Amino acid sequence: MTKKKGLGRGLSALLEDPSTDITTRNEPVTAAPRSAGPIGTIPVAQIEPNPFQPRTHFSDEALAELAQSISELGIIQPVTVRKVGYDRYQLISGERRFRASQLAGLEEVPAYIRIANDEAMLEMALVENIQREELDAIEVAISFQRLIDEVKLTQEQLSEKVGKDRATVANYLRLKLPPEIQLGLRQRTIGMGHARALIGVSDPAKQVELYHRIVESQLSVRAVEDLARTALPKGMKSSVKPGLRPNKDLSKMLAQRFGSKVSVKQSTEGKGKIEIPFKSEEELRRILGVLG
C-alpha cells in the first residue's frame, strides 16, 4: 500500500488502522480526545465540514483576504480534524482556514489529527471558538447552551472549560431577547453590556423600543441601565443593579503611577474601591514605597 504523502513516520500506518476509525469501532470513544500523531498533510478532498460548527456566519471579504494570505505564505496554523474512516476526516476547528484554502486552490492542508467521538468533537469545537473570541454573542450563548444540554456540563464546569466566570456564563445563557435585538448583537450594533440591561426589562415590546433608542442615540450602557429601570411597571424592581463600574481612565493613570495593574470601580453616587494586586513581598514593598 502506498504511504500517504506528507505524513510523519508511523502516522500513516496508525491512520490506516481500522481500530482508529470511529465509524468501525465496536465501542464509542469515551476517553478524552487524543492525538493520533504529529501534524499530517491531508488532501482537501478528504476533509468534510464540521457538523457541529458553532459559527454560522463567515465574511466573504475576510475569507478572500485570508485566501490571498494563504496563497502567498501558506497555512501558518494547521487545522484540527478527526478521523472518521479510511481516507475520511472531519474538521474539528479551523473552518475559516479550510474554506480559505479551498478558495486559494490548495490540494492539501496541514492538520492535527485527533481521535474523538461526537461529544468530544462538539466540546472541542465550541470551546476553541469561544476561547479564540471568534463568535458573536448569540453564537456564544447557543454554544454555551449546547455544551450544557449535549455534553451535560454544569454552569460551573462550563465556566472552567471556557475560562469565564460563572456570572458571565449566566449572562450569555439569559440572552433570550427578541429576534431584532439578537440580530443587533450578531452584527455587533450593540454590545453585551446593552444586552444585559435589556434583559432586565420583562416586556419584549419595551426591549425593542429601548434597542431602537440605543442604536439611534448611541446610548452608553449606563444610560440604558437607567432607562431599563424606569421602563419597569410601578413597584417592580429591576434586575439591573447600579453596582460599581470600572473607571478605565483613572485605572490607566494609576497604573502608570504605580507601574502595576490597578483596578478602579466607582458607582454613580461616587462610592468605589481601588485594587492594586501584587505577586510578591518585593512588589508590595515597591507599591508601598510609591504610596509613601
Rounded to whole angstroms, how far apart are CA atoms 78 and 109? 7
H helix intervals, 179-280: 179-186, 192-199, 204-217, 221-230, 248-258
Contact (CB, 8 A) for 219 and 191 = no
Run of H or E including 69: helix 60-73
Q: How close are the terminal C-alpha atoms of the chain, in Å?
A: 76
* Overall residue count recorded for the chain in this entry: 292
Residue 119 Cα distances to 124, 163, 276, angstroms: 9, 20, 42
What three-state secondary structure class fits 268? coil
Catalytic residue among 48, 95, 108, 275: 95
Q: CB burial class (10 A; 0-12, 13-18, 19+) of residue 24?
A: exposed
* 95 labelled catalytic: yes
Grid cell at residue 278: 501584587
Q: Which residues are catalytic?
A: 95
